[in-house]
Amino acid sequence: MLSNVMAAVIGCVGIAAYGMVVGLFLQGVDRKCAAHMQARVGPPIRQPFIDIGKLLCKDNVVPDHAVRAVFNAAPLIALAASITILLYLPLGSIMPVLGEWGDVVLIMYLLTVPGLAMMAGGFASGSPYATVGSQREMVTMIAYEFPLATGIIAIAWRLSAAGIADPFLIATIARTPVWSVTGPLGWLGLLLLLIVLAWVTPAELSRVPCDTPEAETELAGGLLVEYSGRNLALFSLSLAVKTVAMATLAVVLFLPWNPSWYIELEPLAALIVDVLFFIIKLVLVVFFSVSVIRVMMARFRINHLVTLYWKYLGIAGIAGLALIVLDATLGMGVVV
């Protein structure tokens, strides 16, 4: 019993370190790629690490009119929630630390917690800019949750229709590529859902063109305008970890393959190769769903953002779900 507890603690610490390091690395890659696409040199990939180091060395400034307890607790809650998400997600061929105690529905709920913490911190700061930013964050979360839920539920349902046990467990989804149990109509539906998830990712991470809650040119930083020093560093780390979580979710749902499934390797070599290949997939997901989109689009107005997610992406998600259901009904896929 004690050994299991120690293993869980070591696993949690390791996953937390992995999430922060890889998250900052992905942010650095994103900034570098975006700069090159705009014909700029851009900062070095290590720049996010430098920024976090500087922020951690600075003092916190808490506004006189802020609710101090909530203002200081919000960054900690955001970072803790982001790390908790990773505990339910696999790393290459390494199964989740807490995979037996949660499923994709729990992950969907946990994804909202960092945003709720940022909203609480913005409201608690007492700044009118932060208040408007928090209101926008609330509207944005309501907008993108429906398309996200549609994609996740559709994939789990298709695995269930194929006769696979525990289809909502993330370990089951990671071990069973949904593409292998669907037919042509199902593949078309999955492509639609993949596009939907690619557009949900910038909104989850508050990146251009969905950064209306921060909107530096309008709200001077929005819900984070009053944050500085270590508190701002914690919020930045939470966004970095959440970047890893969103990219991992996309990989698990749509790109779960590992090299060790097809190449015979020693156990340690297979583990290392799978992890490296997994990180490459994370980089590709961030590149196409964050870097490319934010380079080719300007910031949405909040009403345009809601229209995009509720109308266009919502319809696309329902269409993808309908194609997957039709694929199962016609028996085009594989039944396990």
User: What are the structure tokens assigned to 209, written together?
Assistant: 């063109």
Average pLDDT estimate for 94-119: 86
The residue assigned the tokens 């097809």 is 262
Range of 166's domain? Answer: 2-329
Residue 201 is assigned to a structural domain of this protein: yes
Q: Model confidence over 75-84: pLDDT tens digits?
A: 999 999 999 9
Count other Cβ atoms within 10 Å, centred on residue 283: 17
Going by pLDDT thresholds of 50, 70 and 90, the confidence category of residue 89 is very high
Q: What is the pLDDT of residue 187?
A: 93
Residue 317 is assigned to a structural domain of this protein: yes
Which amino acid makes up residue 134? S
User: What are the structure tokens assigned to 274, written together?
Assistant: 């799978």
Average pLDDT estimate for 254-273: 89
Going by pLDDT thresholds of 50, 70 and 90, the confidence category of residue 20 is very high
Using DSSP's 3-state secondary structure scheme, residue 94 falls into strand
CB 220 within 8 A of CB 168: no
Q: What is the pLDDT of residue 333?
A: 58
Does the pLDDT at position 54 exceed 70? yes
CB 258 within 8 A of CB 92: yes
Cα separation, 16 vs 84, whole angstroms? 8
Residue 64 is assigned to a structural domain of this protein: yes
Does the CA dihedral 161-162-163-167 come out positive or negative?
negative
Cα separation, 130 vs 124, whole angstroms? 9
Does the pLDDT at position 239 exceed 80? yes
Using DSSP's 3-state secondary structure scheme, residue 165 falls into coil
Does the pLDDT at position 335 exceed 60? no
Does the pLDDT at position 94 exceed 90? no
Q: What is the pLDDT of residue 199?
A: 93
CB 118 within 8 A of CB 280: no
Going by pLDDT thresholds of 50, 70 and 90, the confidence category of residue 224 is confident
User: What are the structure tokens assigned to 312, written together?
Assistant: 């266009």
CB 179 within 8 A of CB 332: no
Going by pLDDT thresholds of 50, 70 and 90, the confidence category of residue 73 is very high
Mean of the per-residue pLDDT values of the chain: 88
Q: What is the pLDDT of residue 330?
A: 80
User: What are the structure tokens assigned to 284, written together?
Assistant: 């590709």
Q: Model confidence over 117-165: pLDDT tens digits?
A: 999 998 898 888 888 888 888 888 989 999 999 999 999 999 988 888 8
Residue 335 is assigned to a structural domain of this protein: no
Which of 23, 19, 106, 95 is closest to 252 using CA atoms?
Answer: 95
Cα separation, 263 vs 243, whole angstroms? 29
Residue 165 is assigned to a structural domain of this protein: yes
CB 151 within 8 A of CB 141: no
Q: Model confidence over 265-315: pLDDT tens digits?
A: 888 888 999 999 999 999 999 999 999 998 988 888 888 888 999 889 999
In the chain the first and final C-alpha atoms are separated, in Å, by 36
Percent of the chain residues topping a pLDDT of 70: 96
Q: What is the pLDDT of residue 218?
A: 67
Cα separation, 114 vs 79, whole angstroms? 7
Task: Say how many domains are in the chain.
Answer: 1
Long-range contacts of 316-319 (CB under 8 A, 24+ apart): 316/147, 316/192, 316/195, 316/196, 317/146, 317/147, 317/150, 317/151, 317/154, 317/192, 317/193, 317/196, 318/150, 319/189, 319/192
Residue 261 is assigned to a structural domain of this protein: yes
Q: Model confidence over 170-204: pLDDT tens digits?
A: 888 988 899 988 988 999 999 999 999 999 999 88
Does the pLDDT at position 334 exceed 60? no
The residue assigned the tokens 């020693």 is 266
